[in-house]
Structure 1
């Protein structure tokens, strides 16, 4: 049996040649559209019924998209990566569409970027580089990380990897999570689990490493920023909508937030019309923190494993 598969994840599309032999072995007929970040709901609605399965990026697999797909031949939706906030999981379940993701795969990669962003905020290395290229010998007095307090929101595999790196830098660690944080990690890094308001009030640097859920949408809003110290840094390697960008702009204007490093945004890709691009104290990324060659090749295979497993289940081959 040959299955027709849509792939919409940009990192996988960029490394698709490495998967060709596997596609052939698994009898997958693969379609690879041109994508910058993700397909829109309308774009998905136009094509989704043609496919047995999808390896998805951050595309909006809404109930509408899934219903159209299920009326066609869609059986399986395999998420490339961790976050499933763009998928209506309840609708998929009700429609009998198998879903999966690839958890615990990017801890080191995303943590490396979180540390890199924090170092840039502390030492402004990017500004020095830019100035020297323009003929200026810029001397910026930075900030030492040792003994600063880092508050990590979301202490799963990524948050834990961030904690280990920050501990090596001599930082004191606070963590917030809706679940009990691994006691072994707390012992290893001296991280202290606290309530959210305590983290806001005590942290010099706040790092977002949590999943996006309905409960934490705009978690960092006007009220949250007002609880923070003057001069706090924000690093977001999670999901854009966890931060209310209008509230962040107000906090930057007031000086409550001294700087921010944002790998993700409320709407992606952002345009030059986004007010945040005008703030030189904001470092911007392209939702790219998990994108290393090693990680991509590894997760490509896991996503294919999940896809093929569920296609066989849906067709009754595993029964």
Structure 2
């Protein structure tokens, strides 16, 4: 969160702000050590487990405002039982994440990153790329981000299959020529598979050995959602045997990605830093929305306590 650009608003609301020094997210033990001191938290992807929330509730914690969309790191049931107000900021990053997904797909198709690196080494690398028009892309998760990805892929002339656990709006399917299909069919027919869904207990390791076995040989995999949607051990095996021809991963099961990860060995894998939503405009927009939710729920909590 760009704190300097929010200071006036935070001061006007009478909030004292503490910002822990972190690289990607705090650990459960780190949260347990400090959580009881705060009335409210604007959270990233930090693990707000039942243990963390219970310790927080025994102290001052009353409000948890999620910065962003995904709430998979928050034990929502525990928060509800403890009377902790929770919120998130849905429908805020569709275009930003879709732009990154599109960028990854174009990089996989034309290998621009490899040519750039070669030229910087004094080489003149010529790579025969892959045309995208007419290829089939499968998008898993047709929420705000998935819809924005579908629109971009349709514009490229790709055939697009979509899968979601909820019914997909028929009007959107008609607008984009999206075909709503079962997951197995999407896996079997797609040349490129893009993950844009929430992480839930039901779809943990959605792409596992069984899923990879169903895919076309040489399929591309793009993940701009959550790292744990992919069984990384299974992905490494699929990369080694050529089942997966290339991958672009903005997220991982462990972040930052450890230097011991075997994914680092594959030239055909593009690695990101969980950064697909990070544009100046989007950050400022979500900052304000998260603060709105924090202030609203702190006031609700205060009113509830007084009554």
* 1:162 maps to 2:122: no
Which of 236, 239, 242 is the matching residue for 2:223? 236
- 2:235 corresponds in structure 1 to 248
Between 308-317 and 229-238, report the one with greater CA deviation.
308-317
Distance (Å, rounded) in 2 between the aligned partners of 1:227 and 1:286 = 28
2:17 matched to 1:30? Answer: yes
Report the number of matched residues. Answer: 306
Question: 1:190 deviation in Å?
Answer: 0.2
Distance 2:239 2:284 in 1: 38
Superposed CA RMSD in Å reads: 0.9
Structure 2 unaligned blocks of 5 or more? none
Q: Give the C-alpha shift of residue 271 in structure 1.
A: 1.6
CA distance in 2, matches of 1:101, 1:178: 20
Hey, what does 1:47 align to over in structure 2? 34
Matched, 1:99 2:86: yes
- Deviation readout 1:233-274 (Å, 9 max, x if unpaired): 000000000000000001001101000000000111112101
Aligned to 1:260: 247
What is the alpha-carbon distance in structure 2 between the residues aligned to residue 207 and residue 168 of structure 1?
16
Q: 1:314 offset after TM fit, Å?
A: 0.3
1:148-227 alignment to 2 at 5 Å? 148-227=135-214
3-state secondary structure, aligned to 2:65: strand
| Pair 1:114 & 2:91 matched | no
Match of 2:271 among 284, 288, 293: 284
Aligned to 2:302: 315
CA deviations over 1:79-124 (Å, ceiling 9, x no partner): 0000000000000000000000000000000000000000000000
Partner residue of 1:74?
61
TM-score by length of 2: 0.99
Moved over 3 A (4+): none
In the TM superposition, what is the alpha-carbon distance from 1:298 to its structure 2 partner?
0.3
**Which of 34, 45, 63 is 1:58 aligned to?**
45
For 1:266 and 1:18, locate their aligned partners in 2 and report how far apart those are by CA, in whole Å: 31
1:182 offset after TM fit, Å?
1.4
Q: Which runs of 5+ in 1 are unaligned?
A: 1-11
Partner SS state of residue 160, structure 2: strand
**Number of the residue aligned with 1:8:** none
Secondary structure at the residue paired with 1:59? coil
TM-score, normalised on structure 1? Answer: 0.95
